[in-house]
Structure 1
Amino acid sequence: LSMPQQQQPRPQASTLAPPLKTPSPPPALTMTHSSPVPSASAIPTTNAPPTPGSSSAPLPGSTAVPSPADGAPPVIKKKPLSRTSATTLRPNLMRAPPMPGSQMSPSAGSSRDASPWSINSARPTMFRPSAPSAHSQAPLPMPQIPKKQILYWCTSCEVSFKRKYDWKRHEDEFHERWRKYPCPEPGCNRSFWGPNLFNQHHKLSHGCKTCPHAEKVVKFLRKRHYWACGFCSALHPARERHVEHVARHFESGLGKADWVHSRVIYGLLHQPLIHGAWDTLVRAKQAEFGGRRPQFSWHPSKTGRAQGFLEKGNPGQLQDLLEFFSGDEYEAQWIVSVAYDLSDI
């Protein structure tokens, strides 16, 4: 007799393990094989041979565990998944927020779902900080180097000032002296070279309260026409321009020791009429130098400004003659002859 052909049971959906939770980081997952597994109730009492379409061999990377029911297919227990693979199952659950002050890299599209917890995460290429982090160590402050004190030296005496205004006022009132303020009170013959000094005298000595009299008594004297720099021999036809020029030298670090009187005389010799007369005189004396170019110098005690030249009418020295020069060619020739005779060659 032929045995009736045993009917194969209809495969049912695999029974999965309980649904996964979303821990951080996720634990190992235990799940059964996803291939169809015959139901235990549909298996007859006799052991049937394995179906050609099914396989009882464990998947690669998994371990077969004996089934609690005799004759049932083995339950496949997978190894714990890595953090990367577990997170890949839910790519949108653990995406790191952008860092403050950072921007997305153009090459981050292929790895935008990488887990921030994974070592091989694409976070270093995904976030490119454009500014240092707030938690980074701040740079140490640079030690402050004390700034050198700028001193404005009087070009005619040995007085120095810390403020430019005080230096300019000293030069005007004590050495330029082209404005004179005589006291108008009877019997007082005092004169002053600045409005402030006159006001103080008129208030203290004569009881003037408001003292608006400075501009009423001022007398304008002769004024210099040229000034020369003792640092670089620059010639200036205006007083204010000369003062600003010398102030820049002081502010650059030069001092009174760098001021050379011979450069002042040499610069004053370059004014109109004087310059031409000086060149003519030097060429005429060229035979005395044996073909070499002479170097001239002048001593300030013999050729500097004369004390009392303006206020007392004392005869001036070479610097006074050059600064106040406004004559003709004949006078220019006479002044350059004085300069040549007083020079040290």
Structure 2
Amino acid sequence: MEKGRSYKNCDDWKREEKQHEATYICMLKGVQEGSAELSTCVFCGATNPQDSHFGIHNVQMCALSNAKQFSCKRRRDMVQHLSKYHNVHGVSHCEAIATNWKKTLSKKAWSCGFCVKTFIAFHERLKHVQVHFEQGKTLADWDATTVVQGLLQQPGLDEAWKAKILSMPSFGLSDMAWTEAALKDLQPRLEEGPSDDISARALADTAYEACEVKWWFGQ
């Protein structure tokens, strides 16, 4: 959830959240499509293009080996990118290309930033958060620590996290906090979840390393 963004209503927020369930990656499937006998340029449809052809589309800017390969969360941003940097014309044509470069993110869990709760279905999370909005909650109440705590309770990760906490006897969960900055990289990894016990322990370690400890003196 983007705190800096203004939402007109809950439906506006839902649309924004759904966009974050996918990403658009420039040249996701390469610069040509088709077969070895008959291929076409993904940008303009030119048949059996020579390597020199791709110079007009500035493909090196977003080559798969380029660490700066462009990606975004909104199709309209990819449309603008295609027009500005890859010499692709026509909104409908750019939209068709962008749609073909849409990659749905693989997530196993979601959480709420208003209360500590875990969801294994995205639509259930949307319904739950909507209730908070209807009860008067605002984005100012959304808390990064609460988001992380909910995700750490997901099946397959909760036991690894409990073991991590028990191994650190000097403080407990109530002493730990996560910032918005930490959430940017940590949240996607937690939402993807662990694949086995080893990755669960690694995720627990990552969450621990990303936290800040609150030392409450005199309490």
The alignment's TM-score, normalised by the length of structure 1, stands at 0.42
Deviations 1:52-72 (A, max 9, x none): xxxxxxxxxxxxxxxxxxxxx
User: Which amino acid letter does the alignment assign opposite residue 105 of structure 2?
Assistant: R
- 1:178 pairs with 22, 30, 33, which one? 22
> Which whole-Å CA distance do the structure 2 matches of 1:216 and 1:283 have between them?
46
1:304 and 2:187 are equivalent in the alignment? no
Distance 1:338 1:159, change over 3 A: same
SS of match in other structure, 1:206: coil
Determine whether 1:319 maps to 2:187: yes
| SS of residue paired to 1:157 | coil
State the Cα deviation string for residues 241-290 of structure 1 (Å, max 9, x = none). Answer: 2122112211210112211111111111101221111222222333x35x
Query: What is the alpha-carbon distance in structure 1 between the residues aligned to residue 71 and residue 188 of structure 2?
Result: 22
Cα distance change, pair 229–210 in 1 and its aligned pair in 2 (3 A)? same
Is structure 2 residue 206 aligned with structure 1 residue 338? yes
Q: Residues 232 and 213 of structure 1: is their aligned pair in 2 closer, same or farther, counting only changes over 3 Å? A: same
Q: Which residue number corresponds to residue 122 of structure 2?
A: 239
Secondary structure at the counterpart of residue 24 of structure 2: strand
Unaligned runs of 5+ residues in structure 1 are 1-154, 306-316
CA distance in 2 between counterparts of 1:334 and 1:209 reads 44
1:119-148 Cα distance to aligned partner (Å, 9 max, x none): xxxxxxxxxxxxxxxxxxxxxxxxxxxxxx
Tell me the distance in 1 between the aligned counterparts of 2:25 and 2:203.
32
Provide the residue aligned with 1:227 in structure 2: 110
TM-score where L is the length of structure 2: 0.63
Q: Hey, what does 1:280 align to over in structure 2?
A: 163
Residue identity in the other structure for 2:43: E
Larger Rg: 1
Take 2:140 and 2:182, find their aligned partners in 1: how far apart are those partners? 19
Paired AA for residue 110 in structure 2? W
Pairwise mapping of residues 153-302 of structure 1 onto structure 2 (< 5 A)?
Answer: 155-173=1-19, 176=20, 178-180=22-24, 182=26, 184-186=42-44, 187=57, 193-195=73-75, 206-207=89-90, 213=96, 217-286=100-169, 288-289=170-171, 295-302=174-181
Distance 1:295 1:321 in 2: 22
Cα deviation, 1:285-316, whole Å, max 9, x if unaligned, reads 33x35xxx6513323245211xxxxxxxxxxx
* 1:24-75 deviation line (CA, Å, top 9, x unaligned): xxxxxxxxxxxxxxxxxxxxxxxxxxxxxxxxxxxxxxxxxxxxxxxxxxxx
- Corresponding residue for residue 82 of structure 1: none
- Which deviations, in whole Å up to 9, do the C-alpha atoms of 1:295-341 show, x marking residues without a partner? 13323245211xxxxxxxxxxx3323211123211121122123233
Secondary structure (helix, strand or coil) at the match of 1:233 reads coil
- Structure 1: how far apart are the matches of 2:140 and 2:94? 41
* Contact map agreement 2:118 2:154 (CA 8 A) in 1: yes
Aligned length: 174
Q: Deviation of residue 198 (structure 1)?
A: 5.8
The 1:294–1:192 alpha-carbon spacing in structure 2 relative to 1, beyond 3 Å, is closer
Q: Distance in 2 between matches of 1:261 and 1:298?
A: 8
Contact in 2 for aligned 1:181/1:217 (Cα 8 Å): no
Contact 1:223 1:324 survives alignment (8 Å): yes
Q: Which amino acid aligns with 1:165?
A: D
Asked if 2 retains the 8 angstrom alpha-carbon contact of 1:202 and 1:208, the reply is no
Q: Tell me how large the CA RMSD over aligned residues is.
A: 3.3
Query: Alpha-carbon deviation of 1:217?
Result: 1.8
Distance between the aligned counterparts of 2:203 and 2:145, measured in 1? 16
